[in-house]
Amino acid sequence: GAVVSQHPSWVICKSGTSVKIECRSLDFQATTMFWYRQFPKQSLMLMATSNEGSKATYEQGVEKDKFLINHASLTLSTLTVTSAHPEDSSFYICSAMDRATANYGYTFGSGTRLTVV
């Protein structure tokens, strides 16, 4: 089945630094990837939709200059949290879409726990 690898699984960084999270589709081409953020005991909140080769579409309230998304290939999307602050500490999850399946096959990564100190 479709597999999405997300790396790193956890990261601790100092306030003011930047962190990059990678999301890779291992056995299919993901023309579209979605990035979500999840705070403790809350649901997944969509941050942005990333289409290969074009600029990401951000949800209302998500700062595009702070959360940089790059989707340069059909198997890799990256989310960079720039100038991280403690309030950015969260669980970040990517989802890749496999357009080859009838239901567009949303496949989720295992998530990245970001802690900003």
Partner 1 sequence: GESVGLHLPTLSVQEGDNSIINCAYSNSASDYFIWYKQESGKGPQFIIDIRSNMDKRQGQRVTVLLNKTVKHLSLQIAATQPGDSAVYFCAESLQAGTALIFGKGTTLSVSS
Contact 38, 106 (CB under 8 A): no
Cis peptide before 86 (omega within 30 of 0): no
CB of 104 to partner 1, least distance (A): 5
- The Cβ-side half-sphere exposure at 2, using a 13 Å CA radius, reads 21
Of 9 and 17, CB closest to partner 1: 9
Of 72 and 100, CB closest to partner 1: 100
Distance, CA of 47 to CA of 93 (rounded, Å): 10
CB of 91 to partner 1, least distance (A): 8
97 closest CA partner among 34, 42, 53: 34
CB of 57 to partner 1, least distance (A): 9
**Where does this chain bind partner 1 (CB under 8 A)?**
6, 32, 34, 36, 42-46, 49, 91, 93, 95, 97, 99, 103-104, 106-111, 113
